[in-house]
Structure 1
C-alpha cells in the first residue's frame, strides 16, 4: 500500500531592516530544491515582515493545505547556530514592523495563553540531527525574540494546536552557506516528521485501550 502523501508547509521571511536578503527565505528555497522525500508535498511561502500580514496568512495556509506540519524559518542576526525554538509567546510585541506598525495590545491573541509549546520534542530532534554529523551546529531555545518570528510562531501554534515548529538561522556566511542551511533544514524537518509520527502513534495506541 502506498503511504498517503503528507502536506508540509515551510515559510521564510522577506527582507527587513539592514537585511536586504533574508537568509531564512534563501534557506527555504534551498530546501525546496532538495525536497523532503517522495511522500511529502512541500509548499513554501515567503512571509512579509508585517504583523497584520502574518495574522492573515497563517490561518489561510492552514485552511488551504491542512498540513501535517508547518515549519517557520526566521533570521536571527545574533545566531551563530541553527536554533530550534520550543515555544511561542503571546505578549510583549513592541517592535515596529516593515509598515511601521505594532499591535496596539502588544499581543498576538487577546486572551490566549502566555506561552504555547510545540507538540514536537525539540530536544529529541536536536539530538537526532546532531547525531547525523552535518557540518551545522543545531541548538535549542525557549525565546524566539518577541518580534515577527515569535509572533508568527505563536500565531501558528495557536492555529494548529501546537503542530508547528520554528527554526532560526544565522545570516548567510556567518558561518553557513545557503546550501548548508538548506541541508540542515531538510534533516531537521525529516526528523520532526518522524518524531511527530511516533508521538501520534503512541497517542493512538493509548486512545484505543
Structure 2
C-alpha cells in the first residue's frame, strides 16, 4: 500500500495515474487498434499462415504498427519486465475471442531457449496462456515444444526443406489426434509458428490453430 502511494502505477502512454492492474488509461485505450478478426472465418493472418502450413483457425488481438501504443504494450511485456501485461492482454482477448464450436484441445506457447529464459527471467507468453487456459477451461502445456537453438530460426522455403532441416524446435512427447492452439506474441513473417506447426503436424494426426497477441502487417 505504501509503495502504491509512493510509486503509483501510471499509464504507459501518457503517464496518468491508473489502477494497479491496468496498463493504459481509458483515454489512451481508445488508441489501441484491435483487429476484430473472427477466429473461425478467413482473415489476414489465416491467409498468411496457409502459405506456410495447413492451419485450422487463426486470431490476432491487435495490430502491431510502427510507433504505436500496441507496439509499446508488447515491448513493455517482452523487454521491460512487465510480465503482468500478459494478464491484461489475455483479459482483452477473452472479451473478444469466441472459439464457437471449434475450441482447441490444448494450448501451447512458443518456448524460449533456456539461455534466453535465464536472461529475461520469464517467458512473456506464460501468464497470457495460463490466463486464457483458466478462462476457457482448456489445458496448456509449457513443455510440449522445446527450442533447440539459441539463435533465431531461419526461413524454411518448402516442406522438404522443413523435413530435412536441423529443426529449431522439437516435440518433447507423443501427441496425436489433438487440435493444438499455438500461441505467440507477434506474427511477422510466420517462420516461427510455421516451424513449430510442422513439428506438431509431423508428430501425429494433429491440427494446428494460431493465436497471437499482435500481427505486424
TM more than 0.5: no
- TM-score, normalised to structure 1, is 0.32
Which has a greater percent of helix?
1
- TM-score, normalised to structure 2, is 0.31
Task: Return the structure number with greater relative CO, CA threshold 8 A, min gap 6.
Answer: 1
Which has a greater percent of strand?
1
